[in-house]
Amino acid sequence: MMNFYNDFDNCQGSVIDSLKLLLYKRHENIFDRIDFEDDTIYQEPLLYTYVTQQDDIWLDAIIYGFERNPKDRILVFSNKNGIIYIPKVGYFHTEKIAEKLYLEKDNNVFSIKDEKNNEVFFRYEPLYFLDEGIELVKTQHPLFENLFKNTSDIVVDVNIDKTYSKHINHFNTALKIIKENNYDYFTLIKKAVKKVMIYKGEPYSFAAIQAHNMVFLNAHDENDEVFFLDHILHEGAHVIFNTLTYNSKMELFTVPFKTNLSVITKDENDHGELYGRFHGMFTQSNINQCMEVCIDRNVFSGKQHRELLGRFSSNMKRFRAGVDRFNIRELYKEDGQKWYDFFFKRYEEIYFRNESLINSFNVSNQPYVFSYEIFDKANP
């Protein structure tokens, strides 16, 4: 049995140590500015984004809220909506679109100047926290823009500012349901996920090591608590598995972890890299475990309960497809085999308890993102 609940803290410490080293290599004075011992600083997603790009000009604005003695004047950047987002500080709404500006503070009073030193009018908005201290990021940050790519790998704009307010209660309710029905896994989500962005557009919901400790949820108007239950479990699992395998991912497989999956399976329809697709079985291990409990305890009723049944059936069939696809003994080193054996055992246990339920629904025509409308038509 994989004891990843006990391993998580050590693995998270390794990720933080790696970030500290990368920051020190870029800026030898970094720990004069921010506290080396305060690991909460090193769970800031934008610091991971920062070290994966080369331009030093972003640092001051990212660490400003964490500094022992912040500078009196720093370079900041407004986004395409004229909003400047400073971690641990808040939002500055301006009419300056995608510009370099200067944030100043004198006697605890903020002011903003443009490059010609003219005063810039702004409205300050404090940070917003969802339940359990998870921060809701309300606007795009320029460094996050490259994470939002469509299926053609082209960077796209997404709607954040007009989307999140519709789903705050949905998110909080779903998180509470996870806490009440799968507390051990909830504790990992709380340790791993420090921020969330809720948006509408492309791409699908995701988590990325380039913005570690954060999940990005693509929600539409009709989505409710059942959607957020599924997607918090799913994207949270990606953050958790990135943490658990941060040091070991190069020791999971007998081939490089970035190998295209199609090279392994000889199926040109198997898109993506080996390690990324291997993640999928970890997500399914945890999504389905929690959904099973919620179904058994009748957490939802009516249409929501029926949607949960459909999502569970669909996820379990994807779990089976993943377990079958990765049943390749020669692919694994010792750690990889342990993970695969855990996934296989978890699948079999859940399937054994729910075989008739899982097979009672037709989910063969489901798209990548579960559609209740399609499910309802296929299962009158």
- Condensed to tens digits (0 to 9), the pLDDT of residues 146-168 reads 999 888 889 999 999 889 999 99
Mean of all residue pLDDT scores within the chain: 96
**pLDDT attached to residue 278:** 96
Give the tens place of pLDDT for each residue, 5-56. Answer: 889 999 999 999 999 999 999 999 999 999 999 999 999 999 999 999 999 9
Q: Which residues, including other chains, have CB under 8 Å from residue 103's CB and lie 6 or more apart?
A: 61, 64, 73, 74, 76, 84, 86, 92, 110, 111, 112
Grade residue 352 by pLDDT with cuts at 50, 70 and 90: very high
pTM: 0.96
Percent of the chain, pLDDT > 70? 99
Strands in 109-113's sheet, in edge-to-edge order, are: 73-77, 100-106, 109-113, 119-120
Q: Is a pLDDT exceeding 80 seen at residue 107?
A: yes
**pLDDT attached to residue 152:** 84
**pLDDT attached to residue 13:** 97
The mean per-residue pLDDT over the stretch 90-117 comes to 97
Q: Is a pLDDT exceeding 90 seen at residue 320?
A: yes
The mean per-residue pLDDT over the stretch 330-334 comes to 96
Q: Which residues, including other chains, have CB under 8 Å from residue 255's CB and lie 6 or more apart?
A: 263, 264, 274, 331
**pLDDT attached to residue 267:** 87
The mean per-residue pLDDT over the stretch 259-264 comes to 93
Q: Is a pLDDT exceeding 80 seen at residue 2?
A: no
Q: Is a pLDDT exceeding 90 seen at residue 292?
A: yes
**pLDDT attached to residue 198:** 98
Give the tens place of pLDDT for each residue, 166-181. Answer: 999 999 999 999 999 9
The four Cα atoms 331, 334, 339, 341 give a dihedral, to 10 degrees, of 80
Quick check: 239 and 249 in contact, CB under 8 A?
A: no
Give the tens place of pLDDT for each residue, 187-243. Answer: 999 999 999 999 999 889 999 999 999 999 999 999 999 999 999 999 999 999 999
Q: Is a pLDDT exceeding 90 seen at residue 268?
A: no
Grade residue 185 by pLDDT with cuts at 50, 70 and 90: very high
The mean per-residue pLDDT over the stretch 320-336 comes to 96
Give the residue ranges of DSSP H helices in the chain: 4-26, 30-33, 45-51, 59-63, 168-181, 183-192, 225-244, 261-265, 274-296, 302-325, 334-358, 372-378
**pLDDT attached to residue 202:** 87
d(CA 203, CA 194): 21
**pLDDT attached to residue 3:** 77
